[in-house]
Amino acid sequence: METLTAIQKQYLEQPKERISGSEAIVRCLLAEGVDILYGYPGGAIMPVYDELYKYEDKINHVLTRHEQCAAHAAQGYARISGKVGVAMATSGPGATNLVTGIADAQIDSTPIVCITGQVPSHLLGSDAFQETDIVGISTPVTKWNHQVTKASQIPEIIARAFYIAKSGRPGPVLIDITKDAQFEEFDFQYKKCTGVRSYVPVPKTDDSSVTAAAELINSAKKPLIIWGQGIILSKAELELKALVEKAGIPAAWTIMGASALPTSHPLNIGMVGMHGNYAPNVLTNDCDVLIAIGMRFDDRVTGKLDEYATQAKIVHFEIDPAEVDKNIQTDVAVLGDAKQSLLQLLPQINTNSHPEWLQRFKDLYEIEYDKVIKNDLHPTKEGLTMGEVLKEINIQTKGEAAIVSDVGQHQMIACRYADFNVTKSNITSGGLGTMGFALPAAIGAKMAAPEREVVAVIGDGGYQMTIQELGTIFQNKVPVKIVVLNNEFLGMVRQWQQLFFEKRYASTEMVNPNFVAIAQGYYIEAKKVTKREDLASAVKEMIDSDAPYFLEVCVEKEGNVFPMVPSGASVSDIRLE
């Protein structure tokens, strides 16, 4: 059960009071425990900002430099805290600028509530200044959305928004509020939402399906667990660890599931997917029972569908019925919250071990180490590699930092080589692959968890998509650490051009600015590293700093990320070079 703060209780227990719609919005947010709000003001949302000014001692409004970054910051806040992130924008372009962040949150199951202003209700449909149909635009990429035209609707709709965003499989919700509803007065009282008719956020778990899953797991000779973000969202880290250890099953993770089980755990056998580890990808097509927990069989994980784990019995633990049998046909589907399902499963699991099966993962790891990992982490060539930068970050943070990565080669390197010893430590754009995600998401993550070290790992391409958020960092004194791995290319696209387009590097080479000077222009301490002998001291100086810090590391221009499952290939066809 949720523990309420004193501020929440204050606004939940108030008797009816006649106030404006805009003040009601602020009080609703306070009743939901919102302490940080990311946004950008404008005409259609200005009444709410006027009320926020009066409540600035209770809600910290963070002025981002772009509305998309408000959504990404709300994502970072939500991903590291487990709470609902909140973003706000005006109508028209302000609202449409949120859409990329909303779409990212939808595919990555991130709970955020976005509030947009809208033109007065009598102007709806008239093509008024800065009017767009944001409800229609955002419908495909929200878990739920709603337009409010009367002030009296505000408490119920906001309460419902927070409930829907957080419950079941989380996701983004958008509320569009007309300007006249913000000015209109009504008798305000707030009640939290505890249910919505016809909405079943967590399906009831069928006991017989749990028993059937246990029987398959107990009888397996070569079982393999693949877990996803569902473990983290349901707070089932301990239950996953208990299952892995009791049954002695090798366990691999999707990008979104990283950090649920510590990297150092002996049964954590690495990442699956296009740039995942060699052993779990190859042996997916040799296991006899594949246990998928809180993951959705994304195409980057499965590769060629009709050649994916065809020899295995598939057990799928999943909260969203729509994901079951969507891509991969299951033999046993266990619907429900992952934590509760695993708690039901554990007493039925036999204590077991699979030493010969586990040895095969270790043998394939040695092959990957010799062909790939050794060259990434302990290079003998002159140019710095992305992998050795991550290795140094691991050393300086003891593997306890939250790594917020952008999208591209550096993202795959960060996921492969960062030590994730604490849960909720891998914050990245998984399903949508949004370049520009990391810098604003790192702001939200650091503000949500100021006690944690937050390191944004970004490529030179994605960095320039949201570089203006250095202003947000400076203005709000957010001590996030920024590492730009600069190879002067859009590296992932260049890698594909090298491997599949005969090295025709069309529109991928970057002519970059003086990144250090730009950071210093925002009064952020900055340094550039070009030589291996300077890397360790620079990373240490960055981590030791109590202030925001920018570190540019110039890495080899044409380095590639391996292993790699080529697009459309089977996971068994993973390439090591």
Q: Which residues are identified as catalytic?
A: 67, 129-130, 179, 492
Q: Tell me the C-alpha distance between 484 and 5, whole Å.
A: 39
Q: Tell me the C-alpha distance between 179 and 25, whole Å.
A: 12
Which tokens go with 34? Answer: 């919102």
Q: Tell me the C-alpha distance between 464 and 109, whole Å.
A: 26
CA distances from 179 to 88, 238, 246, 313 (A): 14, 47, 58, 56
CA angle 326, 327, 331 (to 5 degrees): 80
- Please say whether the beta carbons of 393 and 483 come within 8 A: yes
Which tokens go with 5? Answer: 């703060």
Q: Tell me the C-alpha distance between 38 and 87, whole Å.
A: 5
Upper half-sphere CA count for residue 276 (Cβ side, 13 Å): 28
- Please say whether the beta carbons of 437 and 414 come within 8 A: no
- Please say whether the beta carbons of 574 and 564 come within 8 A: yes
Task: Provide CB contacts within 8 A for 96, sequence distance 6+.
Answer: 132, 134, 137
For residue 375, give the amino acid letter. N
- Please say whether the beta carbons of 69 and 469 come within 8 A: yes
β-strand partners of 148: 177
For residue 13, give the amino acid letter. E
Long-range contact set of residues 433-436: C-beta below 8 Å, sequence gap at least 24: 433/407, 434/72, 434/100, 434/101, 434/104, 434/407, 435/406, 435/407, 435/408, 435/459, 435/461, 435/462, 435/465, 436/68, 436/69, 436/72, 436/406, 436/462, 436/465, 436/466
Nearest to 49 by CA among 97, 90, 91, 11: 90
Nearest to 456 by CA among 471, 473, 476, 477: 473
CA distances from 280 to 36, 275, 289, 301, 365 (A): 40, 11, 13, 11, 9
Q: Tell me the C-alpha distance between 34 and 447, whole Å.
A: 13
